[in-house]
Structure 1
Amino acid sequence: MARRCLVFAKEPVPGAVKTRLCPPLSPEQAARFHAAVLDDLLERLGAAPGIDLRLLLWPPEAVERGRRRWRVDVQAQRGADLAERLDAALGEHAPAVLVGSDLPLLDAEHVFEGHARLARGADLVLAPDGGGGFGLVGLARPCPGLFASVPMSAPNTFEATLGRARAHALRFELLPALPDVDTHADLCALVEPLARATDLHAPRTRALVRDVLAQHPCTDAAARER
């Protein structure tokens, strides 16, 4: 049976995505980075046998544009805020693994491992993103309100989600961290692991990182941001 994977993404519009990269990046560069990572991620996961891939896009009016751009099943995210949209997506599609769109090192094996943990009895799987949130969440069955009152994009998002899991008496398992890219320092920190991941299909991400860092080099100050 195919393992369902939901990619949660915003449409790559300058000024609406990856705003913490600006400055030093321009809004246009930040949007191109977001698009490069998303394009590579969809290609990697879409090429993996055994994955039932869905792109859940925000805002809803971007869905038709997304269907013209990406050769995957594109659906709208539903809900007033991110917590509601996560609840709605996993409530509709569970059992499923949901991943963020800003994870340059994520590949199909992370999705398979998440599903394997669910199949072995976990109710919930989570992979931290290194910045206080999570980059991957898998749910074995719908759990309405799981993310209610969880502060999103906050330093305590991950811990608050674990607290909600305990409140719902869910058996949860943790996967290794999946670093995301929010700041210029995160971009600098990506260079070495991206170079080591020689088998990772990420041509757009590699080219974009190289070009952006040629214009905005890594410095000690950037390293101290982390």
Structure 2
Amino acid sequence: MSAPRVLVLAKAPAPGRVKTRLCPPCTPEQAARIAAAALADTLDTVTTAAASSRVLVLDGDYLAPAGWAMLTQRGGSLGDRLANAFADSRTPGTPAVLIGMDTPQLAADHLDTARELLGTPGGPDAVLGPATDGGWWTLGLRDPGHATVLRTIATSTASTGRRTLIALRRRGLRVHLMPRLRDVDTAADAHAVATLCPPESRFARAVATDVPLPVVVAR
């Protein structure tokens, strides 16, 4: 079996359209810079990981790195857009691993582990990375056709990850759980995740510049 295709589902970092939960304390322009840094770091990490191909599945207008393919997100709900990302990039016999742009602490080792698991005969049929907010940060499928289950699962809830795991297992899939990572949604998330990134990362620098530290009120 070939190395997996890696998909990055992302939204172009335009003010007012991304990271709106950072506002306040951030302005829409600051939030967009945070999103741009997170996306750039994520794309850099995926570029260094082994993959049969790399696809940026985009909502909006953004220039993909050299050697990347581009797809436009298709569908209304996030569940449909996730399922369509797998379907629109599917090649028979090629596993697919999808991540988003909200975990800039992602390391190439995470993706290499998913590749090894999905490429091992007798290994798991799927890998799922739970997020601390109850969602998930990655889904890898030996057969991307199984992503159709995502169309029926409510996203952005505290039970999205658990429901995804249940749905995959109901299809008879063997699922390996990846390490739990924290998504960047709020200012507190941004500061916590920045500490997990290399100091020279775009995201860590952007957070230091554009995300005010929480104010602690003495009592």
TM-score grouping bracket, smaller chain normalisation:
0.7 to 0.9
Aligned residue for 1:124?
A: 126
Distance in structure 1 (CA, Å) of the matches to 2:147 and 2:45: 31
Distance in structure 1 (CA, Å) of the matches to 2:125 and 2:31: 36
> Cα distance 1:144–1:97, how it changes in 2: closer, same or farther (>3 A)?
closer
Aligned residue for 1:18?
A: 19
Aligned residue for 2:177?
A: 174
Report the CA distance between 1:211 and its aligned residue: 0.5
Aligned residue for 1:212?
A: 210
Aligned residue for 1:85?
A: 81
Instruction: Read off the aligned partner of 1:73 and give its amino acid letter.
Output: A
Q: C-alpha deviations, 1:149-189, integer Å up to 9, x for none?
A: 21111111101101211221211110001221000111121
Give the alignment's TM-score, normalised by structure 1: 0.84
1:23 is paired with a residue whose SS is coil
Distance in structure 1 (CA, Å) of the matches to 2:129 and 2:43: 19
Q: Which runs of 5+ in 2 are unaligned?
A: none
1:145 is paired with a residue whose SS is helix
Q: Which of residues 187, 190, 194 in structure 2 aligns to 1:187? A: 190
Name the % identity.
Answer: 37
1:20 is paired with a residue whose SS is helix
Whether the aligned pair in 1 keeps the contact of 2:7 and 2:56 (CA below 8 Å) is: yes
Report the CA distance between 1:51 and its aligned residue: 5.4
> Cα distance 1:166–1:73, how it changes in 2: closer, same or farther (>3 A)?
same
Aligned residue for 2:35?
A: 34
- Which portions of structure 1, spanning 4 or more consecutive aligned residues, are displaced by more than 6 angstroms? none
Whether the aligned pair in 1 keeps the contact of 2:7 and 2:54 (CA below 8 Å) is: yes
Report the CA distance between 1:5 and its aligned residue: 0.6
Correspondence list, 1:71-82, <5 A: 71=66, 72-82=68-78
Whether the aligned pair in 1 keeps the contact of 2:194 and 2:203 (CA below 8 Å) is: no
Q: C-alpha deviations, 1:113-139, integer Å up to 9, x for none?
A: 112222232111111121110001101
Report the CA distance between 1:218 and its aligned residue: 2.9
2:21 is paired with a residue whose SS is helix
Distance in structure 2 (CA, Å) of the matches to 1:187 and 1:144: 29
Q: RMSD value over aligned CA atoms?
A: 2.0
Give the alignment's TM-score, normalised by structure 2: 0.86
Q: Which runs of 5+ in 1 are unaligned?
A: 222-226
Aligned residue for 2:166?
A: 163
Distance in structure 1 (CA, Å) of the matches to 2:102 and 2:169: 27
Distance in structure 2 (CA, Å) of the matches to 1:51 and 1:219: 46
Q: Which moved more, 1:25-34 or 1:142-151?
A: 142-151
